[in-house]
Amino acid sequence: MASALKQAKRIIPLFDRVLIQRIKAPERTASGLFIPEKAQETLNEGLVIAVGPGAPATKDASAVRPMSIKEGERVLLPPYGGNQVKLGDQEYFLFKEEEILGKLE
């Protein structure tokens, strides 16, 4: 897991893109019973792995609009979208900042 995270950190998103790892639903109940894959709910939460510098604020690209999302934050994602990036057995997604629905506390 740590080596996969190091590999993911090597991906540097451009402009206003954000690299996110979706949070997986628990595979067991509190009492230790396994939950079948078909019965597991899909979580629309993710952990921000890397953030781009921001989108150009003007057409001449001399200024950059800062990002409102930072590495390590948990975010609410749309059920579909993003570009899938697979590193080893881990899946990551690249979203534009405007596609992210919100931050989670």
- Residue 65 neighbours by CB distance under 10 Å: 14
The CATH homologous superfamily of the domain defined by 2-104: GroES chaperonin (2.30.33.40)
Residue 24's pLDDT is: 76
Measure Cα distances from 25 to 37, 40, 84 in Å.
Answer: 10, 7, 18
Residue 52's pLDDT is: 87
What is the C-alpha to C-alpha distance for residues 11 and 8, in angstroms, rounded to an integer?
5
Who wins on pLDDT, 59 or 79? 79
| Domain residue limits, the chain | 2-104
pLDDT band, very low/low/confident/very high, at 3 (cuts 50, 70, 90): low
Residue 81 has pLDDT above 70, yes or no: yes
Q: What is the pLDDT of residues 9-65, one digit of tens each?
A: 677 888 889 999 888 766 776 777 766 666 556 668 899 998 988 888 777 667 888
Burial of 54 (0-12, 13-18, 19+ CB in 10 A): middle
What is the C-alpha to C-alpha distance for residues 28 and 75, in angstroms, rounded to an integer?
23
Residue 90's pLDDT is: 83
Average of per-residue pLDDT across 79-95: 86
